[in-house]
Amino acid sequence: MAKGYWVSAYRTISDPEKLAAYDKLAAPAVKAGGGRVLVRGGQVVPHDDGVAERVILIEFDSFEQAVATHASEAYQQALLVLSDGVERDFRIVEGV
């Protein structure tokens, strides 16, 4: 079974307080869903049209688990708190 990954590239962070509140709710939701944070922030070297902003990479044991965790009530509550605090490119992708 292929692993699943959450990939988030933040274009802008307009409200750091909303992001901090989101992090407090999202972290336990991700952990409960079996997610493991592989990349969180750190140095970024952008290329092409990329921006040097926060990047998050979370690994799940399966693609289905990644999708289910995103749909979970706990994670959806975290998204409500985040609302318009950031602009990001969020994707759930299947590993090879």
Domain range annotation of the chain: 4-94
Question: Of 94, 8, 19, which is closest to residue 54 (Cα–Cα)?
Answer: 8
Per-residue pLDDT of the chain (96 residues; tens, 9 = 90+): 899 999 999 999 999 999 999 999 999 999 999 999 999 988 989 999 888 889 999 999 999 999 999 999 999 999 999 999 999 999 999 999
Separation of alpha carbons 28 and 10, rounded Å = 20
CATH class, range 4-94: alpha beta
Tokens of 59: 């690994």
pTM score, two decimals?
A: 0.92
Q: Are 75 and 28 in contact (CB under 8 A)?
A: no
Task: State residue 50's pLDDT score.
Answer: 85
